[in-house]
Amino acid sequence: MTYLKVYDEIRKLLSDQQYAKINGYGPSYFSFNQEGGRCPECQGEGVVTIPMQFMSDVTMVCEQCGGKRFKQDILEVRYREKNIDDILNMSIEDAIAFFEEGKEDAAKSIARKLQPLVDVGLGYLKLGQSSSTLSGGESQRIKLAYFLSLSSENRKKEKILFIFDEPTTGLHFFDVEKLLKAFDALLDAGHSLVVVEHNPDVIRSADWLIDLGPDAGSRGGEVVFAGTPEDMIARGDSFTAQYLRR
């Protein structure tokens, strides 16, 4: 969410609520990375670490904020009955529906900027989920969502070569289809993609394949085929070709 600059708009929206204005809570008060609104006990982490002299350190939920990372006064600020903790614990899909129902242009802008995350199969993530908990494939898709969120005018100014390493890892096949549509959107904007992948749907969708083999590890590393997916199915004899023919 921070990568797409959406959190800035959410903080601004909350700071515009009447209770926040009365108490002088600016956008920075709704950040757990800055002093002001974050819990002073856990420094906005939601947990505290207790050092143990002869054992591993123990991590416990912060007693002062109950793991919500903000001061109680900040949690009293609500937008459509939701405070900052409620919003950060929403899934991206739920957050889009929530902000789309808002009357403010700012709320609809937030929903619009979150949509690319759903388009690349990340609608299940929470808004406040830490980047340290993301897999490599999820991190790649967040960056992809960022470029999809840019205006078509900006994307046309600079053509980029994207390199993705196993971006479909852990994805349901419905989400793989979403990811392929996102790839198509980048290609339509004039960008180029190199994808390292084993997923057959991605392989079949490629314009050009480079198949390395003939086996794995020390028995691999050679180019055993280069061409279109149709050519591989017709005349390839690698493991990949055999699998695609089936």
pTM of the model: 0.78
Q: Where in the chain is the domain with CATH 3.40.50.300?
A: 133-245
CATH architecture of 133-245: 3-Layer(aba) Sandwich (3.40)
What is the mean pLDDT of each successive set of 10 residues along the chain, which is 246 residues long?
A: 85 97 96 92 92 85 95 97 97 97 95 92 91 85 85 63 90 86 89 94 95 90 94 92 89
pLDDT tens track for 136-169:
888 888 888 888 887 544 555 688 899 999 988 8
CATH of 6-119, one of 1.20.1440.60, 1.20.1580.10, 1.10.40.50, 3.50.50.60: 1.20.1580.10
CATH 1.20.1580.10 maps onto the chain at 6-119
pLDDT digits (tens, 9 = 90+) for 109-137: 999 999 999 988 899 999 999 888 888 88
**Helix (H) or strand (E) run with residue 72 in it:** helix 72-75
HEC string of 163-201? EEECCCCCCCHHHHHHHHHHHHHHHHCCCEEEEECCCHH
Orientation angle between helical segments 136-149 and 173-188, nearest 10 degrees: 40
